[in-house]
Amino acid sequence: MAEVTIGVPVYNGEDQLEECLDCLVRQTFPDTEILLFDNASTDRTQAIAERFAAQDSRIRYTRRPENVGAVKNFITPLELATTPYFMWRAHDDISALDYVEKLVAALKRSPSAALATGTIQFERPNGRPTRDYVPSIPTGRGLSSILKLMFGSHAGWYYGIWKTDTLRPLIGKVWTEFPYAWASDHLTLYPLLLDQQVTAAPDTKFIQRVTPKAHGPRTGQRQPIPELLELRREFLKCCDAMVDDRAFNPFTKLAIKAANRLYVGKRVYPMKKIIKRTLFRY
């Protein structure tokens, strides 16, 4: 029986899907199932997926008859997972072949953790890698360690291995209270940072390709300032509410909420850039 479900949502991924699936089927940890959901692609995605599914029984390929939107296609593998551990893999990302094995081992060594991550490396469109982002997980407990974890966290941690029973209700809560794709990854990570439920295997690597997206501040198509301000407000409101949900003492709650005012600028959009854009218009 599989221990890890790997969810692979894809739409028109013919350019990099083959490399992604090859990486997953060659992982040194064999006890996986790969739920591949094709959001009605119009390119060669179906042919590539069917070929891999025919060669490896761990791949369960589902082609949707019509596009159901990126969010539903993304969440469905998690909804169907019955394994204790879950991981997402974007069709254009790869990792070291021991990535799953070492992250599962890290979780088993740290029973209180709900997420394991490795070292993160971005790969630019021209194929050039950036520097490695090596996870630094504080060993202590309390306010100082929480703040270090918050500001040392990385969006790539989202593509680590989660305990399924922790992730599933968390995703439901995040998408109900913060129905925006932008920064939802950081908001999903946030409660685990507060609870210090992250562990790491720095000696394995996740390679996240930086590819142009259809929407969002990083595409070069700037979002309107009112939308950015709304994103900041809603993100901050959710973070503060998660702090209030925890049994921190009053000083710790106040300190974390104060830090949230800086955190939102790093995880959503900096207020300084919004001010500059506003002034530049006049």
Digit-coded pLDDT (tens) for 145-162: 999 999 999 999 999 999
Least confident stretch, 22-31, 148-157, 219-228, 252-261: 219-228
Other C-beta atoms closer than 10 Å to the C-beta of 244 total: 10
**Residue 75 confidence (pLDDT) above 70:** yes
The mean pLDDT of the chain is 92
**Residue 215 confidence (pLDDT) above 60:** no
Least confident stretch, 26-30, 118-122, 126-130, 145-149: 126-130
pLDDT, position 222: 67
pLDDT, position 214: 45
Instruction: Write the CB contacts of 282 (distance below 8 Å, at least 6 apart in sequence).
Output: none
Tens-digit pLDDT profile for residues 242-278 = 999 999 999 999 999 999 999 999 999 887 777 776 7
Share above pLDDT 90 across residues of the chain, in percent, rounded to a whole number: 82
**Residue 221 confidence (pLDDT) above 60:** no
pLDDT, position 219: 40
pLDDT, position 220: 42
Pick the closest to residue 39 from 18, 70, 16 (CA basis): 70
| Count of positions (residues) in the chain | 282
CATH architecture of 1-92: Alpha-Beta Complex (3.90)
Average pLDDT of the segment spanning 45-54: 98
Average pLDDT of the segment spanning 6-21: 97
Phi-psi region of 222 (alpha: psi -120 to 50; beta: other; left: phi over 0): beta
Share above pLDDT 70 across residues of the chain, in percent, rounded to a whole number: 92
- For the stretch 210-217, contacts whose Cβ atoms lie closer than 8 Å and that sit 24 or more positions apart, written own/partner, are 210/122, 210/123, 210/124, 210/125, 211/92, 211/125, 212/125, 215/181, 215/182, 216/181, 216/182, 217/182, 217/269
Average pLDDT of the segment spanning 169-196: 95
pLDDT, position 282: 45
Q: pLDDT confidence of 224, banded at 50, 70, 90?
A: confident
Least confident stretch, 25-39, 107-121, 203-217: 203-217
Tokens of 270: 């900096």
Average pLDDT of the segment spanning 205-220: 62
Q: Where do the domains of the chain lie?
A: 1-92, 219-280
CB 211 within 8 Å of CB 92: yes
